[in-house]
Amino acid sequence: MDAKLAPLFTPWKIGSCEIKNRVVLTSMGGTNLLGWMERNHFDEAGARFILEVAKNNAGLVLPGCQPVYNPMFGQWLHKNEKMYQDLAAWMPEFHKTGAKLFVQLTAGFGRSFTISKLMETLYTNKLLRVISKPFMNLDKITATASPSPNRWSDKVPSREMTKAEIREMIDSFAKSAKLLKDAGVDGVEIHAVHEGYLLDQFTLKYVNHRSDEYGGSFENRYRFAVEVVQAIKELCGDEFPVSLRYSVLSKTKDFRSGALPGEAYDEVGRDMEESERAAKYLQDAGYDMLNCDNGTYDAWYWAHPPIYMPENCNLEDVEHIRKFVDIPVVCAGRLDPFVAAEAVAQNPAGTAFNPLFLYGASGVGKTHLANAIGTKIKELYADKRVLYVSAHLFQVQYTDSVRNNTTNDFINFYQTIDVLIIDDIQEFAGVTKTQNTFFHIFNHLHQNGKQLILTSDRAPVLLQGMEERLLTRFKWGMVAELEKPTVELRKNILRNKIHRDGLQFPPEVIDYIAENVNESVRDLEGIVIAIMARSTIFNKEIDLDLAQHIVHGVVHNETKAVTIDDILKVVCKHFDLEASAIHTKSRKREVVQARQIAMYLAKNYTDFSTSKIGKFIGNKDHATVLHACKTVKGQLEVDKSFQAEVQEIESLLKKKA
């Protein structure tokens, strides 16, 4: 692979959903999963195509758009249960590729529905119109925001949708999304404010002339799209990602008249000023990503650029709109991969590692690591303003600013920081005004490409008393758990500290401390200080004898090392299993869970590699061990009863040691 393309293969996130790379197959006709212009069903041909794309290393795949109301036969997408059952059976095969799947949902075409000569005949002949209504109700299919000319035909006018029809459509969006989520789909994309489709027709002033709550003001014109995402989030939960297909500019001069590149024209649709406002407004409504291009069906060639359109024809506009949101933005439309890679590389603060959220038990080295990152950034970029501050000090400063009526000065100061490190962010819990202020600081820094590093004693999902909007933002970037450091890591931490403080310790002393002080980074630092104090006060040389004396007297850690045998005995006793059961191929729930917990504990309490752990526990490979650790970690974050169970096993293990 050409090295210039490497930025395209960096991970990123949509909400809490991690995507392995930045290669996205956006929705195309003929790639539907659930049928199109035919009876709804799980489309095996479409599934084969999508699977092939995923196997060829696409990170995110969006099948062809799926109408929640199928124009053929008047079908509602949420009513075919078997279709979702078939999809659920296929999803594990898709997920083996490592790709993610978002199904694109649409309200339909409205006035942009393509009218053929046969359809004109069906509509204009009263008898045929009645006869064809059960399978081709053109009056319903082409209904739009306000009475408007059809994009393709003067003989089939588009009437105004009723509010009851709008509510029915919103309800189907939510129910369809919930069924897709239950089937294992990773997210949905709403084909809404895009290309002059039905939902977009509501946003456009040249189409929408309504006088009710769905027309007139900016908020009213975008209400349909807002209520769709709100209904989905209410039914599926805030964690279920919802992307938005979004046209930055309409590029439209009038009905059936689009603008060409470089042409001077008056925009009748969405101009850049409105788009800047709309993008932020739709993000705040709940959308987790913008999948962008330009155009309407009156200027269709922007969204489906033929060969005469310039390469990267939408990139400049999409790059501009990204400045106004702090959610991921995707660009479509004859996009050269090298140009795309360069666009990613030039915006490193917009990667999956901003914010960087570090969590772990007290003493595992969160503060040490956060400070080390800040120090390194300062070394590499001397002009960067890097600030480390504890959550407690931040609160004190904020309280003082309120008392002294200098809150604006406080916020303005923090908004000038290039790299902000907040230690022990969990201390913001329950402090609403502090959270609100930090929320605005966070948004400003993130939006302006500044780096945020946060530490906590627990994962975001376990932070009680924290506003949901903050928790969502904490998970935008990389969330990483810090565990007790291994022997080698403890040696490196010691070497760094000793070097930083201008000290000299013999290698055997460093090795001894690292091998015998294993509870926390804080203990390591305490031992170094104690050895230095003893050496200075009693004028003693720093050697192995001195180190042994200090370690024995201060840490009192003459404890027996935990072995894998110890772990297996304690785990099997807890689950009332014979030790031999762990080593079988049994897929019984209690055996699998016991095996996974044993692997997780072995990874935490021993220095064995994952390969050796797998060999000792069930004769499994290292990938199985990694999967087990990930599974246990994930369950610990969301299941308090499971958390208590593992803690009970750990306490028994510590007693045994």
Helix 432-447, helix 407-414: angle, nearest 10: 40
* Angle in degrees, CA 286, 424, 416, rounded to 5: 65
Quote the tokens at residue 533: 């104090």
Nearest to 349 by CA among 311, 323, 331, 370: 323
Q: What's the CA gap between 141 and 108, in Å, rounded?
A: 8
| Per-residue model confidence as pLDDT tens digits over 357-372 | 888 777 667 787 788 7
Q: CB neighbours of 304 closer than 8 A, spacing ≥ 6?
A: none
Contact 12, 349 (CB under 8 A): no
126: exposed, middle or buried (C-beta count within 10 Å: 0-12, 13-18, 19+)? exposed
Using DSSP, state whether 24 is helix, strand or coil: strand
Q: What's the CA gap between 428 and 196, in Å, rounded?
A: 44
Mean pLDDT, residues 446-471 taken together: 84
pLDDT band, residue 2 (cuts 50/70/90) = low
pLDDT band, residue 353 (cuts 50/70/90) = low
pLDDT higher than threshold 70 for residue 445: yes
**pLDDT value for 75:** 84
pLDDT higher than threshold 50 for residue 352: no
- Quickly list DSSP for 554-623: HT---PPPP-HHHHHHHHHHHHT--HHHHTS----HHHHHHHHHHHHHHHHHS---HHHHHHHTTT--HH
* Angle in degrees, CA 292, 297, 299, rounded to 5: 80
Q: What's the CA gap between 303 and 339, in Å, rounded?
A: 19
Residue type, 310: P
Q: Report the sign of the C-alpha dihedral through residues 245, 250, 256, 259, in that order.
A: negative
pLDDT higher than threshold 60 for residue 3: no
| Per-residue model confidence as pLDDT tens digits over 593-641 | 999 999 999 888 887 777 778 888 888 887 788 888 888 888 887 777 8
Instruction: Calculate the CA 30 to chain-centre distance.
Output: 28
- Quickly list DSSP for 60-109: EE-PSPEESEETTTTEEGGG-HHHHHHHHHHHHHHHTTT-EEEEEEE---
- Quickly list DSSP for 362-428: TTSSHHHHHHHHHHHHHHH-TTS-EEEEEHHHHHHHHHHHHHTT-HHHHHHHHTT-SEEEEE-GGGG
**pLDDT value for 399:** 92
Nearest to 320 by CA among 347, 338, 345, 295: 347
| Per-residue model confidence as pLDDT tens digits over 207-264 | 999 999 999 999 999 999 999 999 999 999 989 999 999 999 888 988 888 888 878 8
pLDDT higher than threshold 50 for residue 351: no
pTM of structure: 0.54
162: exposed, middle or buried (C-beta count within 10 Å: 0-12, 13-18, 19+)? exposed
Q: Report percent pLDDT > 90 for the chain.
A: 27
Nearest to 63 by CA among 36, 93, 96, 92: 36
Mean pLDDT, residues 129-153 taken together: 84
Quote the tokens at residue 231: 């209904």
**pLDDT value for 520:** 65
Mean pLDDT, residues 568-587 taken together: 85
Contact 355, 452 (CB under 8 A): yes
Which of 63-67, 438-442, 506-510 ranks highest by mean pLDDT? Answer: 438-442
Q: What's the CA gap between 515 and 476, in Å, rounded?
A: 37
**Element holding 331 (H helix, E strand):** strand 329-331
Q: What's the CA gap between 368 and 421, in Å, rounded?
A: 12
pLDDT higher than threshold 70 for residue 82: yes
Residues with active-site annotation: 197
pLDDT higher than threshold 60 for residue 9: yes
**pLDDT value for 521:** 66
Alpha carbons within 13 A on the beta-carbon side of 49:
15
**pLDDT value for 187:** 94
pLDDT band, residue 559 (cuts 50/70/90) = very low
**pLDDT value for 654:** 72
**pLDDT value for 345:** 46
Contact 12, 352 (CB under 8 A): yes
pLDDT higher than threshold 70 for residue 541: yes
164 or 590: whose pLDDT is higher? Answer: 164
**pLDDT value for 338:** 58
pLDDT band, residue 348 (cuts 50/70/90) = very low
> Left if phi > 0, otherwise alpha if psi is -120 to 50, otherwise beta: which for 405?
left
Using DSSP, state whether 13 is helix, strand or coil: strand
**Element holding 57 (H helix, E strand):** none
pLDDT band, residue 29 (cuts 50/70/90) = low
| Per-residue model confidence as pLDDT tens digits over 157-167 | 899 999 999 99
Mean pLDDT (the chain, rounded): 83
Q: Show the DSSP H helices in 448-558 as ranges.
A: 468-474, 487-500, 507-516, 521-537, 544-554
Q: What's the CA gap between 354 and 158, in Å, rounded?
A: 46
**pLDDT value for 555:** 56
Which of 98-112, 483-497, 555-569 ranks highest by mean pLDDT? Answer: 98-112
pLDDT band, residue 656 (cuts 50/70/90) = low
Contact 33, 43 (CB under 8 A): yes
pLDDT band, residue 335 (cuts 50/70/90) = low
352 or 586: whose pLDDT is higher? Answer: 586
Residue type, 312: N
476: exposed, middle or buried (C-beta count within 10 Å: 0-12, 13-18, 19+)? buried
Q: What's the CA gap between 451 and 373, in Å, rounded?
A: 11
Nearest to 565 by CA among 601, 611, 593: 601
Nearest to 519 by CA among 304, 360, 645: 360
Mean pLDDT, residues 400-428 taken together: 91
Neighbours of 254 (CB within 10 A): 12
